[in-house]
Amino acid sequence: MKIDNLNKDKTYLVYVRGTKFVSRGIQFFMRLYALRFNRKWRKPYNHADLVHKEQIWGSQAEGFINRPLTEGWEKASRLAVFELEPKLNSKKIDSVLEKYQYRRYDFKNFIDFIVKFFTGKWSGHTKEHADKALYCIESVHRVMEEIGVEPVLENAWDNDPEESYQWALDNLKLYEEFINKKKNK
């Protein structure tokens, strides 16, 4: 799925609902968590990226990387795009993004979230200990905090995509939602 109507001078937060195996696994455990802890349920987003200067920035298996916006999000069934209002100028945002570039992806977070889904408690790294490797939600919130997006999502290291998305709905301006009707099941 591609987006071609974003203002290249703005920065955006994009939530992704994927259709690949790992995406479906994350959605499955999020559903279990919602049932177990009586949380509101909706079709969840399972990934988040930032878009800045027509580049997609986010944590993938290769680490925190960027790729052209023209590549879009292959295999996505739904996107929610939020416009950010950072306090830093574009050049300073570039330097923050480059600081995180190639930071390792935190694969252990999958296990930590499975534990959280069953117990309701976070067992993974916290604060500065979580800084060596980041998963998608954590990386976008770390960058947003550094570029001056307010308010800050507290404890970003243990927030799942649904908690992050609810934070965005409560605190940011929804720019647009995109739905790929062929893949949105």
Q: What is the per-residue pLDDT across 61-120, written as a single tens digit (0 to 9) for each?
A: 888 999 999 998 988 899 999 999 999 999 999 999 999 998 888 877 778 877 877 787
Q: Which value, to the nearest 10 degrees, does the dihedral of the CA atoms of residues 84, 4, 76, 180 take? A: 110
Token match 């534990």: residue? 115
Residue predicted with more confidence, 60 or 116: 60
Q: Are 93 and 85 in contact (CB under 8 A)?
A: no
Q: Are 84 and 12 in contact (CB under 8 A)?
A: yes
Residues β-bridged to residue 133: 104
Output the pTM of the full model: 0.86
Q: Could you tell me which CATH number the domain at 11-179 has?
A: 3.90.1720
Q: Is the peptide bond before 151 cis (omega within 30 degrees of 0)?
A: yes
Q: Are 71 and 34 in contact (CB under 8 A)?
A: no
- The domains of the chain are located at 11-179
Residue 180 has pLDDT above 90, yes or no: no
